Amino acid sequence: MRRRTLVALLLAACANHRPAPIPPLAPAPLNWAPCADVPRTQCATLAVPVDPARPDGATLKLRIARVPAVDPSRNKGVLIFIPGGPGVGIKGTFGGENRTGQHVEDFRREYDVVTFDPRGIGQSNPIRCAPAAVPSAAPPAGGTPSAEEFKAIGDVNAALFKSCIAETGELMAHLSAIDTAADVERIRQALTPNTGLVAYGGSYGTAYGQAYIERYPDRVKALVLDAVVDHSVDLPAFVSRNVLAASDAFDRFTQWCKRDAGCALHGQNVGSVFDAAVAKAPVTRTLVSQLLAAGPDPNVGWPAIATMLAEVNGGKGGALKAMTETASLASSSEDPHARAGKNGLFAGVLCADYGPQAITMRS
């Protein structure tokens, strides 16, 4: 297994951006209606500033969703579920079996649960980029890129950023955790203006939660941060930690396959199978690194990963398509501009939160 192939992240450019304190807005009325794409869920839209420091400037429509508490007599109010990813939204939280996997059904015992499509995601002004600009260059599977290979990767990422800025506009400069924390505060103002925030954030949602605590410490009643992402480090440290974590998780996955005859790759060289699958379907590289942390979970963890890799190498695509949708990655049926936008979103968020200007703001 070539460990360096698990994570490859290069950012092309970061804009200098220091947000100002956010003035409160009067709560906006919300018109709830059934979500067209998520059963048993109500949706509404809330206008929020593209640049939170300029509340009178351009706005975007943030889509929010809710599911009611199971027992109204035990209802303690509203709990805001802060999505992670970055890239997960309402469908990834409330859709299908996700409600159980994301603890939503547990929270519903005592709360109305509300979540949202974060800015640039789903139906909240999704990032759009030119399909032709999606990076095609990748680090060599066997080791560190040469200077020429590194430049080639940087060039395609720079082209991606330029296309995203051209097709999306101002929002590309406002994808940071601080910007999303401002959206969480707008949601709180609209839903519970007289009550402190009650919220849960997991994985990258913890970056948004930490930013909220830093900006609005006096407005928090209860906030759970699960699987915390350290947003105090710089990009090299962030990426290095992710590489080590993914490598360790892959080692545990391979050991499980050796022990468990139920693994679809039992008795095979899992690393070689992975490399072959990546060569046939490059998206498997991202899928595996994202889903390894689910461990033995039969739906999205090691058993599902093993089945997916076996199918990809066998020329089948059913498991790959299902897991791509589960991980909220692009599917072949999407608008190609939106599919390219998911690459731009991820790079834009990481650039905003871990670029040099982000370190300066935190120092």
Smallest CA-to-CA distance from 312 within 301, 324, 295 is with 324
**pLDDT confidence of 8, banded at 50, 70, 90?**
very low
* Residues whose CB falls within 8 Å of the CB of residue 83, separated by 6 or more in sequence, listed in order: 89, 90, 92, 93, 115, 116, 117, 118, 121, 205
Residue 361 identity? M
Q: In the chain, pLDDT over 70 holds for what percent of residues?
A: 83
- Which position has the higher pLDDT, 351 or 59? 59
Neighbours of 330 (CB within 10 A): 19
Query: What's residue 138's pLDDT?
Result: 57
- The stretch 192-214 carries a mean pLDDT of 94
Peptide bond between residue 86 and the one before it cis (omega within 30 degrees of 0): yes
Place of tokens 């720079």: 158
Domain chopping of the chain, boundaries:
20-231, 235-326
Query: What's residue 331's pLDDT?
Result: 43
CB burial string 336-348: b at 16+ within 10 A, e below: ebbbbbbbbbbbb
- Write out pLDDT tens, residues 216-268: 999 999 999 988 888 788 888 888 888 888 899 999 999 999 999 999 999 99
Query: What's residue 16's pLDDT?
Result: 38
Residue 272: pLDDT over 70 = yes
**pLDDT confidence of 75, banded at 50, 70, 90?**
very high
Cα dihedral sign for 254, 260, 262, 267? Answer: positive
Q: Can you tell me the distance from the alpha carbon of 303 to that of 305, in angstroms, rounded to the nearest whole number?
A: 6
- Write out pLDDT tens, residues 295-340: 888 877 899 999 999 999 988 877 787 777 666 544 444 677 777 7
Average pLDDT, the chain: 83
Query: Which of the residue ranges 19-23, 99-103, 174-178, 182-186 would you say has the lowest mean pLDDT?
Result: 19-23
Please state the pTM of the whole predicted model. 0.80
Spelled out in words, what is the top-level CATH class assigned to the domain 20-231?
Answer: alpha beta
Q: What are the φ and ψ backbone dihedral angles of 191, each rounded to 5 degrees?
A: -95, -45
